[in-house]
Structure 1
Amino acid sequence: MSHRTAVVAEAAWAPRWAGALLCLVVAAIHVVDQDGLTATKAPSYMGIAYHVLEIAAVIAAVLLLLGLVRLGWLLAVGVALGPLVGYILSRGPGLPGDSDDIGNWTEPLGLVSLAVEGALLLLSVPLFVRSLRRRP
């Protein structure tokens, strides 16, 4: 392997590791927000959504680290976009059975979550699109 090929191969790892790390941080933030792995946030549909998000985030991280980038980046887009939409809906009009967060735009954990999810979205969308241009 030439030096240039080695540098390109090494560079390809950097965004995958970054994406995997961001996915795991999204999962961790939501575990903290629901008070642990075994807790389920109320209302129950929101608690289930948290658990699905956490599992999807771990799966996306594993896929990225294994080099299954097309599926990994697609799942990472969902891991970023889902909670962003949920944050906006829960703080704006509110969600069915959950009006506690309406107007609570500056909750510290929520702001950290927005930053991490925003970074993941900015990373994952272009890399997913690039993966579509490559042969399967």
Structure 2
Amino acid sequence: MDRQTVGRARPARLRVEARTLGVSEIVKPVGELDHHTADLLRTPLHDALGEGRSRLVVDCSGLDFCDSTGLNVLLGARLKAEAAGGGVHLSGMRPAVARVFEITGADAVFTVHDSLDAALAD
């Protein structure tokens, strides 16, 4: 899925790529994850869970920014994935995004990996 805009968001402000690899759904948001773009990430996460894939790997290496709305999308997906017997793995967080997770304490509730390869190997 590659949706480019939501509401008044500038074109290409956030792009989300999703693919299935084995038992994992890999979702890669690229750009800015905020109030205006959160549905671009929420949709593929929801779709994967609806199709029975409860191991979600979010490759954050292309994420430049994440606000509280984006964090809430990930927290909501985590709850649903865990209820289905899976979980959400985050990989490759840049320092600015990692700081949001650290400040809010969300880094303690997610499985965080340095790289996509490490997340897939876990």
Question: Structure 1 or 2: larger strand share?
Answer: 2
Question: Structure 1 or 2: larger helix share?
Answer: 1
Structure whose alpha-carbon radius of gyration is higher: 1
TM-score by length of 1: 0.27
TM-score by length of 2: 0.29
Higher relative contact order (Cα pairs below 8 Å, separated by 6+ residues) = 1
